[in-house]
Amino acid sequence: MRRLSLFFLIGWLAVQAPPAGWLGLTVQELTPQIAMRLGIRVTEGVFVAAVQAGSPADQGGVRAGDVIVSLNGKKISNPEALRQEVSKISPGTSIEVTLHRGRQEKKVRISVGAPPRDAA
């Protein structure tokens, strides 16, 4: 029994969740008012309110005012959907982000980072 317990303990310690991904964005829900102010016809996505300087999103070319509509081809309809998708991606993985900037659709590649140590 003791060996079996030790085996399970070692197995449990060996199986750890991979670190969650991080982009370095502050986002909010895309409202009709924001879409109208931006002059875009997109009705679903997340509005990028801020991009942390030097973050993966910054290095990939995402700017405040962009609207993210998909990640690796998967539709993003709200901030929680974005958070969930990014949390499933391991740091170092390259992703394709489709966004709207003004009236243009753009695709950018971002190398997902690890959250900063001081992030909550």
pLDDT tens by residue, 18-71: 578 999 999 999 999 999 988 888 889 999 999 999 999 999 999 999 999 999
What confidence tens digit (pLDDT) does each residue in 99-110 have?
999 889 999 999
CATH number at residue 69: 2.30.42.10
Alpha-carbon span 91 to 32, nearest angstrom: 33
Q: Compute and round to an integer the Cα radius of gyration of the chain.
A: 18
User: For the chain, what is the domain count?
Assistant: 1
Total-model pTM: 0.81
> Which residue shows structure tokens 């982000």?
97
Alpha-carbon span 50 to 23, nearest angstrom: 11
Alpha-carbon span 76 to 78, nearest angstrom: 6
Q: Does residue 13 lie within any of the structural domains? A: no
For residue 41, what are the domain limits? 22-111
What was the pLDDT predicted at 42? Answer: 87
pLDDT at residue 120 greater than cutoff 50: no
Distance of CA 111 to the CA centre of its chain: 11
Q: Does residue 1 lie within any of the structural domains? A: no
Q: Does residue 89 lie within any of the structural domains? A: yes
Q: Considering only CA atoms, which of 115, 117, 68 is closest in space to residue 95?
A: 68
